[in-house]
Structure 1
C-alpha cells in the first residue's frame, strides 16, 4: 500500500516538473524564486519525496499557466493522502462506527452506481443477512462484537431508497444470489427482499447472468457516489478514489458491466431460480 502511494507521489512530481518546464521555468531555482519557496521544496516535490499541499498545487498551476489542471491535480493529492484506509483502523471500535460514517455520504449523493459480483449490496440486505456478514467481519478482523448496532446502522441507509429524488443503479452478478450467508432460511428472506425492492421507482436492479458475455472483467465490487467518490473494498483496506480521471474509468466500467445485465422479468426469473434452488 505504501509503495503504491509513493509511486503516485513520484508520478505527481513528474507531472509538476513537466508543467514547470512548459511554463518557461528551466530550473527549479527559477521556479522557487518565482514562488518564494525554498529550492529544496521544489526539488522534494518534483522527486516525490514530499507531499504537495492543495495550496502548493494552486500556486504551481497559477505560476505555470496551467489553471485548467488545478482540479485534477488537487484530486490526485487527496487521493494520495487518503489512498488506503486500513480496515483494522476503521473497525478498531467495532463495525457500527464505520457504518455510521457512510450515512452523510448517502445523504449528499443523488446518483448511486453499485457493482457487487459476489454479495448483495448492503443497502438492500435484510437484517438477518447483514448480521451474518458482520459476524464474519468481526471474526476475521478480531474486532469488538457490536453486531446489533452495526446492523441497525446499515439498515438506516435504507431510508434513502424511499426519500428524496435519489437514483440507485445497482448491478449484482448472479453469483451474489447464491453466495450463502446464514443458510437457506436467511437466503430465502434475502432473495424475497430483492424481489420486493425491484418495484421501487428509483431503483434499477440489474443482474449479470453467469453465462453472460462480458465486455469487461468483473473485478472488485465498487460503490460510486455521484462523480465525487468511488469506494473499492478489499480484504485489507477500503480504497478511496477521488481523482476525476480515475472516477471516469469506474463510470466506464459500470456502463460496460450494464451491457451484460438483465432487468425486469429476466432478472426476476434469475431470482426465482435461486429461490427454487434452496428447496
Structure 2
C-alpha cells in the first residue's frame, strides 16, 4: 500500500533530531549534561532527538549554545521550520480568511508546466466555477470556524485557474464519478459546474478522465492530491495540507496517478457520464 503522506514530514523531523544528536555527541555531552545546561529534563532531550517532540526556535538556540556551536542555530531553525511547513493545519492558514490562501498559491500555479490532479470528493479547484467554489468554500469556512470571505476567495480561485486556458501548461485531471453527484450550492449552481466540465473537455491542453463507479478497481481511492510538475505534491486532509517534496514519494504519487488514470474514461465516454449527472439533477 502507498506510504502515508506524513512520512516525508516525519523523515524531515528525524533528520533534524539526528543533526541535533550529532551536535551533542560532538560536544562530548550526555543527554543529562545537555539537559542540565539547558535547564530541561533528560526526557525532553530524548524526545527531541527521537523526533517525538518538535523543538521550538528557542530550544534549538539553547541546544546549540550548550553544544558550543551557536553559529549553526540559524541553519537548524530553518530546517525545523521547513519540516513544520510540510504539514500545516488549514485553520492556521485560513485564520484571517481564505482569500489570502488562494492568492498565495498563484506564483506556484503560474510557474507549473504540468498539473496532475486526482479528485475523490469535489471538482478540482482548477475546474471550479465561481458559484460552485463559493458554495464549497462557505461550507469549509463554517466547518473550520474561520472568517467567511468565500465569495472573494472563490473569485481568486477562478482567476488563478486562467493557467489552464492559457495553453502554457498541460493539465491532467482524474475525477471519481461520485464527485459528479455530490451537490454544492443549489441545482442551478451544480448544473453550471457540470456544464463547465463539458466545456473544459474541449480545452486543448486539458485532459479530463472520469473513473466510473463500475470500473474494476486496480488502485484504491486516495485523498485528493495535486502534483506540480514532478517536484511537489499537495495532499488535502480534513484538517491539514501536506506538502511532499521527497523525490521517492513524489514518484509514488506519480505512479499512483498513472494507475488511477488506467481506470478512467476520456472523451465521449467521459462526456456521457457528466451528461448523465446533469440529467439526474432533474
Residue number in structure 2 paired with 1:145: 148
Asked if 1:181 is matched to 2:195, the reply is no
CA distance in 2, matches of 1:88, 1:10: 22
Q: Note the C-alpha offset of 1:231.
A: 0.7
Q: Note the C-alpha offset of 1:275.
A: 0.9
Residue number in structure 2 paired with 1:98: 101
Q: Note the C-alpha offset of 1:215.
A: 1.5
Q: Note the C-alpha offset of 1:83.
A: 2.7
Structure 2 contact 9–87 (Cα < 8 Å) conserved: no
Asked if 1:258 is matched to 2:255, the reply is no
- 3-state SS, counterpart of residue 213 of structure 1: coil
- 3-state SS, counterpart of residue 259 of structure 1: helix
Q: How many residues align?
A: 240
For structure 2, which runs of at least 5 residues remain unmatched after alignment?
1-5, 35-44, 56-78
**Which of 128, 132, 156 is the matching residue for 1:129?**
132
- After superposition, the CA RMSD in angstroms is 3.1
**Which of 255, 274, 279 is the matching residue for 1:276?**
279
CA distance in 1, matches of 2:54, 2:119: 37
Q: Note the C-alpha offset of 1:172.
A: 0.3
Q: Note the C-alpha offset of 1:13.
A: 7.1
Asked if 1:267 is matched to 2:270, the reply is yes
Q: Note the C-alpha offset of 1:148.
A: 2.0
Q: Note the C-alpha offset of 1:12.
A: 3.6
CA distance in 2, matches of 1:211, 1:126: 27
Q: Note the C-alpha offset of 1:207.
A: 0.3
**Which of 65, 87, 90 is the matching residue for 1:87?**
90
For structure 1, which runs of at least 5 residues remain unmatched after alignment?
17-27, 33-37, 52-75
Structure 2 contact 118–225 (Cα < 8 Å) conserved: yes
- 3-state SS, counterpart of residue 187 of structure 1: helix
Instruction: String of CA shifts for 1:3-50, please: whole Å, max 9, x gaps.
Output: 97895357547988xxxxxxxxxxx69x94xxxxx3459997865478
- 3-state SS, counterpart of residue 199 of structure 1: coil
Residue number in structure 2 paired with 1:114: 117
Structure-2 change in CA distance of 1:50 and 1:232 (3 Å)? closer
Q: Note the C-alpha offset of 1:183.
A: 2.6
CA distance in 2, matches of 1:5, 1:241: 6
Residue number in structure 2 paired with 1:21: none
CA distance in 1, matches of 2:246, 2:262: 25
Residue number in structure 2 paired with 1:165: 168
Residue number in structure 2 paired with 1:25: none
Structure-2 change in CA distance of 1:187 and 1:249 (3 Å)? same
Please give the TM-score of this superposition, normalised by the length of structure 2: 0.75
Residue number in structure 1 paired with 2:210: 207
Instruction: String of CA shifts for 1:170-212, please: whole Å, max 9, x gaps.
Output: 0000011000111321111111100001100000000000011
Structure 1 contact 207–263 (Cα < 8 Å) conserved: yes
Q: Note the C-alpha offset of 1:216.
A: 1.4
Structure 1 contact 138–144 (Cα < 8 Å) conserved: yes
Structure 1 contact 79–241 (Cα < 8 Å) conserved: no
Map 1:46-65 → 2, pairs under 5 A: 47-48=50-51
